[in-house]
Structures are given as C-alpha cells and as structure tokens.
Chain A
C-alpha cells in the first residue's frame, strides 16, 4: 500500500501538535518532515518520532510529498500555500485561512491552477454533536432556521497571536471563523451583513480581545457570536464552542465540549473540566487524508475558509465604522 506522504510547515500554531498526533495514529500516513525556523520548537515532535527536521520549508517542499499541513502565523498562510501549490502539494491550512480577502482568493486560485486541493482546518465541522445537528437540520426536525447564537470564548493565547503584523487580528479574527463556518454550513447560506465591535477589554495588550459579531445571512437568518478571549485563569477550562439554532419547529443547542468530568485537584488549585468526547482533530485529519488518498474533494474547502474569515474582516470594518457593513 502506498502511504500518503505528509509534511508539516511550521508549528507556530500549537494545533500542529494535535494534527501531527492524529496523523501518527494512521498507518497509511508517512510524515516526511517538519519544517520550522525554530528547531527547538519542533524538537519534541521530530526526535521522538524519528521525523526529519527542515529549517527551510522550501527544502521540505522539494521532497516527494502528497500534502502539507500549514500551521504558521496567520500572515504567512498565503505565501506558504502558494509555494506548496506550485510544488504540487495538497494543503491543509490552519484557520483563519488568511488575513485579507485578496490573499485568500489568491490562495484558492493558485491551488485550483495547480490542481491541488486546499482544505481549511475547521475541526468543529467534525464534532459528533455538530454532525448530528447538521443531520437534524437537514431532516427538517427544527423546521426552517430563523436565528442562531454562538460562542467561541477562549483564553488569550499571547505570543504572535497578539502581534497584529503576524496574526492579522485578535480575538475577533481568531475566534469568529470556527462558529461562522458552522453557521454557513447549517444555513447553506452566506453572510451578507455584519455589525460588530472589537475592543481590548480583558488583557493589557494592543489587540482586540473582546467583541460581539452580529450577522445577517442572505436567506434572512440572523445570528450573533461572541469570539472573546474572555476566559480567566480561574475558569475551569480553556474556552468553549456553543451554538444555539432557533427554528420554526424547534431548537438545537450544541455545547461542543460539554462531555466532561469535573476534576477538583489541590495541585491545580481550582476545579477543572476534563473532556472525554470524540476527538474532532482526529476526525478532521482522517477526513483530509482520506480525501487525498482517494482523490475526493475535501470536506471543508478553501472557499469555506474564505467565507468565514471575510466575516471576521468585515467585523473589524464594522467596528471601525460603528455601523453594519455589507459583504
């Protein structure tokens, strides 16, 4: 059996570790190498797993690879995706897909032109609860969708995430995209108007860490989303993904990480939630690998990534204008 050959470009985003772990669970995947300028950052992953290290990702791209996983700083997604596509490699790119509309459209275009697939890393699509919700909606169990409310509240990540030049935005960009993608998926519609604010309220930084994003979709559905980095040190977990869907005949409430036990340990000095539900990262990585292996379209496209990231970009525009903006 031919193994699917995968390379990792950058571990700047910590999700790379989880995606690598998921890849390593599969015996049909070969990790050809990990590229990162920072050798120390990736040593805990290369050495124990016997994976080749590349300081320069161009050298990794020169290897016989089927696909790459890009988990760099947001501002570098476009350049890395372009080079990977030109080298003929399929791409799984960390969210948000990019930091401007033009560069995201460019990423989609260059992948199409080179006949490679571009998948946006939206693991929430693969949550078992989310899949059940999508099924119930498609079966008409809650009638027509009227409105939605979501949260993707989190902890302030620090590092390059709070450097606008590298991240392209704070909490509103970081945490709007996941749930916005689910809203697009559930409604089968696209956002057409955004009203939002973005503020620095929780932490001593120069980037937005609080916001609320109101969206109106083309089909008339309206929604609101809280992407704030508002979880404090004292909170029992890192954050949440919730989505409430109001339909004409019923409602669905998703609380993606509700499958937990409560742990009270004197060692941590606070109560903590320990999640025991399915691994969305494993499901997403499996889906990507299966698509590449079987030459099937990826489940979450570059266009999906673009559609939800542009809502976050519009949210900043609305925040600056203090008024709703049209997409």
Chain B
C-alpha cells in the first residue's frame, strides 16, 4: 500500500520512520509547508518531498494519507483527501469541535474512504496489557481509576499548542488520550466535572477531570503541560477484586547515562520504552490492515467523536463550575 504523510513535525517524523520499515507498505511522498522539514522527512523514508498537498496527491497517487497537522487544520485537510477517494489516518484529536469531527466522518463516508483517528494509547503495550487484564476479570468489577499524563509544554509550529483556540488546550490535546482509554476500560461516561488553570497563568496548563461512568465507576484524570520532570504517565485501575498500577518512571528496562548529556528537551515529548516496534507503528499497521480487510479498528471514529465530546464537556464544566451530564446511549 502506498501511504503519504502530510505534516512533518514530531508525529509526522515518527510515522515516516515507521513507514520506511513497514513490510508491504511504501512511503508515497511527504508534505510540509516548510520545504526543509519535508526534505528531511523524505530522506528518512526515501521518498519525495512536497510543500503542496495537492501536488503530492496528483503525483504520488497514495492509497492512504496520514494527517499530522495541527488540530485546527484536520477538518479541511481530511475532507480534501477524502474527496480524492483516498483513505485517511488522522492524528488525535479528530477535531476541536464535535461538528467538525462529524463532518470529517460524513465526508469520508460519502466518498467511500476509511477514516481512522490515532488514539495511540490503545496501542501502547502497557495500556493494552492493563485492558486485557481487566477484560480477563483479574481485578473484578472496575470501580475507580486514576490517569495521569504530565509533560513539558509542547513547542509546535507557530506555537499552535499555546493557543487554546487552535490546539483545543491540554484537555483536548493531551488528556484526550486518557479519556479515550478510560472509556474503553470503564464504559460510557455519564457526567464530567473539571477544573483547569486559567489562561492568565503563562507557560503551563493543568487540568483535573472526574468522569463518572454508567453502571457505577469513576476516574480522575490529570493532564499537565509545563511539568519540569520527565514525561510521565501513570494509571491505577481499582476493581473490587484487585488493583492494576503503572508508573512510567518505574519501568526503565534500559538506562544509559553519559557525561555528554545535553539536557535539551524535545519539542513534543513522545513516551518511549525499548521495544522492537513503537506503538505508532502498531497503530498505523493496524489501520492499514483494517483498510485491506475492511474490518473495524480497535478505536473507531465513534470512539474518537465520543472522546472529543467528553473533552468539550470537561471544558464546559470547568467554565461553569458545575458537573456536565452526557447522554448515554441505551445498550
């Protein structure tokens, strides 16, 4: 399958590197408005660099495109690709409004192409392992969860992460990972209560969100942009018959320290653990497999829309200072 990438920032580069070594997949051009960045990514995958998406689509004829642009560009770009009859894999969050996410879905359906949203935490082996234990009944009925995702303030092109209008903010961009994962473990969200630091506080965004789930369970999620320590993820899932815990700072299977440490931080931190394949590889390979076989992905467009809806409800709750109820579809 011929796969192109649009947006050669942090995520675009990760995906380019993975495409270059994925069997039966061929990198079919990379695109970035910054010619230098496009050229650097193209060199990794041995493909051509473009600064115009339409030119890439015309010349490379990809069967799928991975969209790694800032969130506020997702809708327009995804629809443009769908209109050409090309499948789309889009970075999370799907969009910063539910309407936009639904429009993207409708456009893809109309043009007969698949749309996948990269909620990559579903593909992280640690989270997957936990989900499998829960599913196997290892901890009984799940009742209470804690999810934490703390890292430095990401530095995207034009500081788009710093603009809540364009990135959606720390809940929409960062916590949404845990919102989606928590929902996959605990079920449908009934109500949301949230608190977030005010925009007047510069250089950091921190949020606390409590999700109550239908059927008697809850989780508290925190997300933090501006943490001074290493990128940290933690979770605890407490059931009535056991507890599952994970702390990214306690799972170092490999630790190299040299005198030449520069201490320079990445623009956007991407959690890493020594593995043969990273979760982004597994994610894209899974989506490509779904295109080939026509099967449903592990994380669907409905899941992605639900995550956006919950994140927006959290924003609303934080504004109102009141819990916000969500409609739970009858089973």
Contacts and interface: CB of A to CB of B under 8 A. Distances in A.
Interface of A: 146-147, 149, 151, 153, 193, 195, 197, 199, 201-203, 210, 212, 214, 216, 222-224, 226, 228, 230-232, 234-235, 244, 246, 248, 250-251, 322-324
A226 B143 contact: no
A199 B195 contact: no
Contacts of B181: none
A224 B210 contact: yes
Please name the 10 residue pairs, one residue from A and one from B, whose CB atoms are nearest each other, closest first: A222-B195, A201-B143, A230-B238, A224-B208, A246-B206, A202-B240, A146-B197, A212-B210, A232-B242, A234-B242
Nearest to B195: A222
B126 interface: no
Contact of B208 (A149, A210, A322): A149
B241 interface: yes
A204 B206 CA distance: 36
A178 B204 CA distance: 28
Contacts of B239: 232
A324 B322 contact: yes
B194 to A, nearest CB: 9
27 contacts: A147-B208, A153-B238, A193-B321, A197-B212, A197-B218, A201-B217, A201-B240, A202-B143, A202-B240, A210-B144, A210-B218, A216-B321, A222-B208, A223-B208, A224-B210, A228-B144, A230-B143, A230-B144, A234-B243, A235-B243, A246-B197, A246-B204, A246-B206, A251-B229, A322-B323, A324-B321, A324-B323
Interface string B189-230: 000010101000100101010101000111010101001110
Nearest to A202: B240
B102 interface: no
Mostly, the A contact residues are: strand
Q: Which of A146, A149, A214, A322 has the most CB of B within 10 A?
A: A214
A324 B210 CA distance: 13
A248 B322 CA distance: 25
Contacts of A235: 243
Interface in B223-251: 224, 227-229, 238-243
Contact of B322 (A146, A210, A323): A323
A216 B208 contact: no
Contacts of B323: 195, 322-324
Contacts of B139: 232
B200 to A, nearest CB: 11
Given A210-B144, A248-B204, 10 more contacts: A146-B204, A146-B206, A153-B238, A199-B216, A210-B143, A214-B210, A222-B195, A224-B210, A231-B243, A235-B243
B243 A226 contact: no
A145 to B, nearest CB: 11
Nearest to A247: B204
